[in-house]
Amino acid sequence: MNNTPEITIKNVSMVYNDKGRDVTALSNVSLEIQKGEFISLLGPSGCGKTTLLRIIADLLQPTSGTVEVCGKSPREVRLEKKYGIVFQSPVLYDWRTVRKNICLPLELMKIDKAEQNNRVDALLEMIGLEKFQNHYPNQLSGGMQQRVGIARALAIQPEILLMDEPFSALDEFTREKLNEDLLRIWRKTNKTVIFVTHSIAESVFLSDRVCVLSPHPGRLSAVVDIDLPRPRTKEMRESPEFFNLVTKIRNSFEGV
């Protein structure tokens, strides 16, 4: 078995200049992530979890430290289109149908039309929206829109899926359903997932490991293994083991 990490984060710090004052968003963060893992970056607002995700995605450059993905820089990996990114808002184009929104990155990559159709058909089936493929975003619920956003991110067949609080704007019922949908998609695709959230329960339900970031300055205060069996079920949310993990993670925050 190959134990070489897919992603290696070493001594990463990020300092912003805010009106002449230095603000430390991340301080000396080191972490290794294995291929196929589901990792949650968990913490309150201002702890640097989104900053860390953006550094991995090559959307920000760290003040110090390094990130390697399969021995390459984040920029090389981004240019090779090995990242799929899902933001808090699905950012769908109102004038394009569900099918056309999912197809957009494939059009930009000039993928063969037949291959475009094959990929989109498979993704529509995976997210359960085949019957809505000709609908427009304003005809969909928030949860359905976010599923389209996930499908679009997967369309380029990335190796790593980066998700920045994708369900935080949804009601609790929809959010729990999409948690289950996401795990089903993850099992089918075997992607490495890095998932930003401020919900302890969500991180426990989804993850292999939860990386707890504490603010002022943002630092990695704990990494908690989630040893619940897979596949995860609704019933697990009510188990003593689940509550014990939630408590363990809550007690691992520092300086909140």
Q: Which among 253, 226, 209, 214 has a CA at the least distance from the CA of 28?
A: 214
Q: Which domains does the chain have, with CATH numbers?
A: 1-82+191-256 (3.40.50.300)
- pLDDT at position 256: 52
Task: Please state the separation of Cα 57 from the chain's center in Å.
Answer: 11
Residues 6+ apart with CB under 8 A from 24: 13, 14, 15, 217, 218
Q: What is the DSSP letter of 242?
A: H
Tallying the residues shown for the chain, one arrives at 256
Query: Which stretches of the chain drop beneath a pLDDT of 70?
Result: 1-2, 255-256
Would you state the structure tokens that stand for residue 226, as one six-digit string?
């989630």
Check: CB of residue 163 under 8 Å from CB of residue 197.
no
- pLDDT at position 74: 97
Dist. CA 75–CA 71, nearest whole Å: 12
Would you state the structure tokens that stand for residue 81, as one six-digit string?
């289109």
From residue 140, give the alpha-carbon distance in Å to each of 92, 96, 119, 134, 143.
11, 13, 21, 11, 8
Would you state the structure tokens that stand for residue 249, as one six-digit string?
């993670």
3-state secondary structure of 205: helix
Phi, psi (5° rounding) for residue 135?
Answer: -80, 160
Name residue 86's beta-bridge partners: 163
